[in-house]
Amino acid sequence: MHARRDFGRFLADMRILALLSALVLGSFVVACGGSTASSSAAPTGVAASAGSSGGLSYTTAKFGIPLSVVVAPGLGSAPTDDTPGLLSWTATVVDNNRIRFLIPAEVYPPDATTPMPPPADFLGYVQGLAGKGAIYSDTTTTTVDGAPVTLLTAKTSRSLDGSLGCPTIGAEQGEGCFGLQPEYALRMAIMEVGGKPLLAWARSDANIPDTAFLKSFEDMLKTVDFK
């Protein structure tokens, strides 16, 4: 009887020793920067290092104006689009909140059924939409990596499909292009980089704008570095 009890106690002691060994080994792995789970590769174009604001820096792979930017905390680290004409992120919590960078290949002026090349004075063209239903406020000027920028908040009293531009020639006006819409408020930056018009904006609900999200867009703009 005593031998059986001693054997049982021996097995219990061995289990405790094995558990302690596993805990020590796990602590050693974590302390050395490893992980007890396999890590997935970073999305294409996302830098391994964090930016000064704590967000992850993303460098474009295909966008027609190469740039790097520290992604706002409320966005997914990798963009949903990185194409020659469009760079776009969707917020991780509020799906309606988006941030986009657009190089317009062509535009649909209000009431037009056929597109036209982007006007040479693209800022003047966008400001001219005020006579077609656009409503602008909070207009300021700044610079983004040395490029002069006009910042404004844009709303509209009617749908202006394609008025801001299309990322590719031949895109469908209502689905493949971008324009002011009554349900959204845009905090928009208008600039020219390398002889190309560049629009960037944060989109939020027109009736209850997410002011913190719109502010995070302006902070994100300050980190843009054109390559």
Question: pLDDT tens-digit profile of 176-210?
Answer: 999 999 999 999 999 999 999 999 999 999 999 99
- CATH class belonging to 46-226: alpha beta
Phi–psi pair at 123, nearest 5 degrees: -60, -45
The tens-digit pLDDT sequence of the chain (227 residues) is 443 333 344 334 444 444 334 333 333 323 333 322 222 333 455 443 444 445 799 999 999 999 999 999 889 889 999 999 999 999 999 989 999 999 999 999 999 999 999 999 999 999 999 999 999 999 999 999 999 999 999 999 999 999 999 999 999 999 999 999 999 999 999 999 999 999 999 999 999 999 999 999 999 999 999 99
Instruction: Order the strands of the 196-205 sheet from edge to edge.
Output: 81-82, 86-90, 98-102, 196-205, 184-193, 147-156, 134-144
Tokens read off for 194: 């390398």
Give the residue ranges of DSSP H helices in the chain: 2-31, 122-128, 211-221
- Residues 6 or more apart from 185 whose CB is under 8 A from it? 153, 154, 155, 203, 204, 205, 206, 209, 214
**Predicted TM-score (pTM) of this structure:** 0.77
Supply the DSSP symbol for 111.
T
pLDDT, tens digit (0-9, with 9 covering 90-100), for 27-55: 332 333 332 222 233 345 544 344 444 57
Q: Give the length of the chain.
A: 227
Q: How far apart are CA 212 and CA 186, in angstroms?
A: 13
- How confident is the model at residue 54, as a pLDDT? 57
Q: List residues bridging with 53 in a β-sheet.
A: none
Q: How far apart are CA 70 and CA 76, in angstroms?
A: 12
- How confident is the model at residue 76, as a pLDDT? 83
- How confident is the model at residue 55, as a pLDDT? 73
How many other β-carbons are positioned within 10 Å of the β-carbon of residue 50?
11
